[in-house]
Amino acid sequence: MIHVTKTFLPDQKEYNAILKKAWDTSWITNRGDLVKKLENQIKEKYHIDHIIATTNGTLPLQLAIKGLGLRGEIITTPFSYIATASSIVWENCKPVFVDIDRETYNIDATKIEAAITEDTKAIIATHVFGNPCDVEAIEGIANKHGLKTIYDAAHAFGVEHKGKSIFSYGDISTCSFHATKIFHTGEGGALFANNETLHEHMYHLHNFGHNGPEAFHGLGINAKMSELQGAMGLTILPYIDQIIEKRKAAYAHYKELLKNTSLGFQKILENTKYNYSYIPVLFENEAQLLRVIEGLNHANIFPRRYFYPALNMVNYLQGQEMPIAESISKRILCLPLFYDLTKEQIETISIIIKEKLS
Ligand SMILES: *Cc1c(COP(=O)(O)O)cnc(C)c1O
């Protein structure tokens, strides 16, 4: 069976060797040496000033909304994972969708201004499949209208734009280190704030608001990463460049084999060092997509309709029409892409797709 993704795991001995440090000290959570070491390694590798490791990739989105004190309308994308929009609702704000660009699948920055009202407080945009949003255009709009920007960079580990880590854009960026993501800690994530004051505020927020053992800065919650997760991160991080290289080769192989077909591919923003975290292909219509899925499933291959449905079609988010996101979400499919996917497997998958297309 071939699934859309497969969690990268090196030799278990490597994990055990790092985990032993937690055993030796009986310190398995509350920001021990392993989590701090992981944070430092990520900061150094990607030249980032601030990071807070978290227990998953959803809490940092909720923390960002809470920590920036947002109340009211938040402009966001209808083409993302549910966590982007559910976090807005969970924090008692109102998601206002802006449709996406047909080629990049990211929020269409040229349509944002028309959606701004007196109640708009922020923009939360997703770097869809790791492809950076038009961060310059969004920054310009945010500055002009006094809005905060949060980037859901759950897919974007290792991505750079104009020579800078994608995590350094916006007031806050968040990432997911879930087992299905390109870099993972089993469950996990991170929050990246763009200045020291905001970082400190977010840091308190993620640890119950603690100011020492007996005092509090204010309201907080528990979003801490454990040492067990930290150990997993330290095991995987040394492989990340290799993981991206392997995916890059697989991505190129798919594109070569599928180039003379009617399939569409995502357009990656210029000046980007991409991470090849997904290979989405766009069909002409949903019937074609369903035929291909059926053919692949028959051969025990399980791609994923990602993202489907468009978020404005989810029951508690309904009421705004997003024609482009709705159309693309019905026609897009993420093909299997992971570290040890072989050339032969890519060929098999491509042959089935081409057969079903014709
Ligand atoms: C995976 C994902 C999340 C949520 O991350 P978790 O670690 O699963 O909580 C949020 N946004 C996007 C775009 C994602 O793909």
The reported pTM is 0.98
What's the CATH class of domain 8-238? alpha beta
**Residues 167 and 150 sit within 8 Å (Cβ to Cβ):** no
Residue 132 has which token pair? 């950076």
* Ligand 1 proximity of 184 Cβ (cutoff 6 Å): no
Q: Where in the chain do CATH 3.90.1150.10 domains reside?
A: 239-357
Q: Where in the chain do CATH 3.40.640.10 domains reside?
A: 8-238
Name the residue with the closest Cα to ligand 1, atom 2: 154
| Per-residue confidence (pLDDT) for residue 358, from 0 to 100 | 86
Q: Cα(177)–Cα(192) distance, rounded to whole angstroms?
A: 14
Strands 172-176 and 189-193: antiparallel
Q: Which of 54, 81, 86, 175 to mutate to test the pocket of ligand 1 (most atoms within 8 A of CB)?
A: 81
* 60 closest CA partner among 243, 199, 189: 189
What's the CATH class of domain 239-357? alpha beta
> For the chain (length 358 residues), average pLDDT per consecutive 10?
96 97 96 97 98 98 98 98 98 98 98 98 98 98 98 98 98 98 98 98 98 95 98 98 98 97 98 98 98 98 97 96 98 98 98 96
| Per-residue confidence (pLDDT) for residue 8, from 0 to 100 | 97
Q: Cα(99)–Cα(108) distance, rounded to whole angstroms?
A: 6
From 148, 181, 224, 246, active-site residue: 181
Active site (annotated) includes residue 181: yes
CA 178 to ligand 1 center in whole angstroms: 7
| Per-residue confidence (pLDDT) for residue 164, from 0 to 100 | 97
**Residues 123 and 65 sit within 8 Å (Cβ to Cβ):** no
Closest atom of ligand 1 to 61 CA is 10
* Ligand 1 proximity of 84 Cβ (cutoff 6 Å): yes
CA 61 to ligand 1 center in whole angstroms: 9
Q: Encode 327-355 in three state secondary structure.
A: HHHHHEEECCCCCCCCHHHHHHHHHHHHH
* Ligand 1 proximity of 176 Cβ (cutoff 6 Å): yes
Q: Cα(339)–Cα(246) distance, rounded to whole angstroms?
A: 6
